Amino acid sequence: MSNPGRTLSTTPSGPAGLRAGSRRPRLQPIGVPTPPSRNGSARPLRIAMIAPPWFELPPTAYGGTEAVVADLVNQLADRGHHVILIGAGQHRTKAAEFFPIYDQPPSHRLGAALPEVFHGAGAAHVLRTMQVDLVHDHSLAGPLLAAGRSVPTVVTMHGPVTGELGEYYTHLAGDIDVVAISAAQRGLNPDLNWAGTVHNAIDVATFPFRDRKDDYLLWLGRFCDDKGAHLAIDLARSAGRRIVLAGKLNEPEEKEYFAREVAPRLGPDVEYVGEADATRKRELFAGARALLFPIQWDEPFGMVMIEAMACGTPVVATRRGSVPEVVADGVSGVIADRIDDLPAALAAAERLDPAACRRHVEANFDLPVMAEGYERIYRSLIERRGRRQDVAAVLPAPVDVAGGRRAHQGLSQRRPKVHSTVREGEVTA
């Protein structure tokens, strides 16, 4: 995809956007009239979309979050909205404007703290001169800078919502509105400041459908105990079937798991093909008789499930996390309550109709469904913020007992109470 949007970088090389002693760039809106809405009579929105710093958009291989962000940008642009994308490196999206904080994504530093902090500071630097209706932040450190914004900040929970991360987002409850990617994820921490739930999605048309499969099973993901590659191998071997493994193997923890659990199990019937890029991944999904997904943690979504089903490949999975929301049990896959139930689940899955798998994804996880869900949340939050500001504008500043006037704390500045029930303006897609 060509890049129709303008790209600005404030430095010729290295991290873009911030440098000691540099002047702030003039980052004004393009200045062209906003086009009529392509989505009914509602006016188009100006949306600042902050991607994580680690990979370009869309990613060429690993990068599930980045793939979702790129697809969302394109869908929102197709719906008539003006999207300002803040990311790293280059982009191949339909964003009207693009601001890279890093000229090259710091992928080799994945997981380090400083790139996230630097990226968040750079995004705030860009937004300081921007006129937008809403900020949608997918980064880790960026939400720290949401306090004091006059527009809503939406944060999608792409990862865990418990433990330290859960506490982190709880501390920011008055400054951000969070979106769950599954009801299962939301149930793990119902007291966050939820604005709604929107399932992730894919461009179904880009995934090839095959009803005649090759003679192999597939496991695709990140190598760790939670993803259960070793369980997938054992399942395939118990059924006398060949299995292909594809996944990222870069970080020390991944290499340790692979050496401990996967390498000893390799053989003529177990093949590791490396990390699959977008083209190779689609080929593998389309040819497999089933995708094995024996996860051992509460996966908040699991993109590989919908990618496989879009190719007509059923999913055999354990009943954890979002699996029951994503897989139509007995239609697009089979869900096992216990590890011991997986062999029977595999046998049943291979009898399912590939066309039914595809239809399930088209109806529930295609990109327009996701974009519509997010747009409803955006408009709900913008309307709610406008009502609060209207109320604050008409409230008088109270007089204190000493006769002086003290500033009234507007409703838009108060920290909302956090409840586990549905909130005003909340949307579920």
3-state SS of 275-296?
Answer: CCCHHHHHHHHHHCCCEEECCC
7 is a domain residue: no
Give every CB contact of residue 53 below 8 A, 6+ residues apart in sequence.
87, 88, 101, 102, 105, 106, 115, 116, 118, 119, 139
Instruction: Decide if 161 is inside a domain.
Output: no
Q: What is the pLDDT of residue 63?
A: 78
pLDDT value of residue 301: 94
Report the length, in residues, of the chain: 429
Taking every pair of Cα atoms in the chain, the longest distance, rounded to a whole number of angstroms, is: 87
Residue 357 lies in a domain: yes
Domain for residue 280, yes or no? yes
Task: Give the per-residue pLDDT at 393.
Answer: 56
pLDDT score recorded for residue 41? 53
d(C-alpha 236, C-alpha 244), whole Å: 10
Distance separating alpha carbons of residues 224 and 238, to the nearest angstrom: 21
Q: What are all long-range contacts of 5-10, with beta carbons under 8 Å and residues at least 24 apart?
A: 5/85, 5/91, 5/93, 5/94, 5/95, 5/96, 5/97, 5/98, 6/30, 6/96, 6/97, 6/98, 7/90, 7/91, 7/97, 7/98, 7/99, 7/100, 8/97, 8/98, 8/99, 9/99, 9/100, 9/103
DSSP 3-state of 26? coil
What would the DSSP string read from start to end of 31-74? -PPPPPPSSTTSPP-EEEEE--SSS-BS-SSS-HHHHHHHHHHH
Nearest of 417, 371, 39 to residue 179 by alpha carbon: 371
In this structure, what CATH number is given to the domain that contains residue 360? Answer: 3.40.50.2000
Q: Residue 333: inside a domain, yes or no?
A: yes
How many Å apart are CA 81 and CA 172, to the nearest integer?
A: 27
Q: Extract the tokens encoding 153.
A: 């900040």
CA distance 174 to 299: 27
Q: Decide if 324 is inside a domain.
A: yes
Q: What is the pLDDT of residue 337?
A: 97
φ, ψ of residue 291 in degrees (nearest 5): -95, 125
Coil, strand or helix at 244? strand
Closest-CA residue to 374 (of 91, 180, 172, 161): 180
What is the distance between the alpha carbons of residues 92 and 83, in angstroms, rounded to a whole number?
13
CA distances from 334 to 181, 184, 293, 299 (A): 21, 18, 10, 17
Q: Tens-of-pLDDT digits for all 429 residues of the chain? A: 444 455 554 343 444 544 433 333 333 333 333 444 455 558 999 999 999 999 999 988 777 899 999 999 999 999 999 999 999 999 999 999 999 999 999 999 988 999 999 999 999 999 998 999 999 999 999 999 999 899 999 999 998 999 999 999 999 999 999 999 999 999 999 999 999 999 999 999 999 999 999 999 999 999 999 999 999 999 999 999 999 999 989 889 999 999 999 999 999 999 999 999 999 999 999 999 999 999 999 999 999 999 999 999 999 999 999 999 999 999 999 999 999 999 999 999 999 999 999 999 999 999 999 999 999 999 999 999 877 665 555 556 555 544 444 433 433 344 443 333 344 445 556
Cis peptide before 58 (omega within 30 of 0): yes
How does DSSP classify residue 258?
I
- Partners of 146 in beta bridges: none
What domain range is 245 assigned to?
A: 205-364
Residue 360 lies in a domain: yes
Number of independent structural domains in the chain? 1
Q: Is residue 260 part of a domain?
A: yes
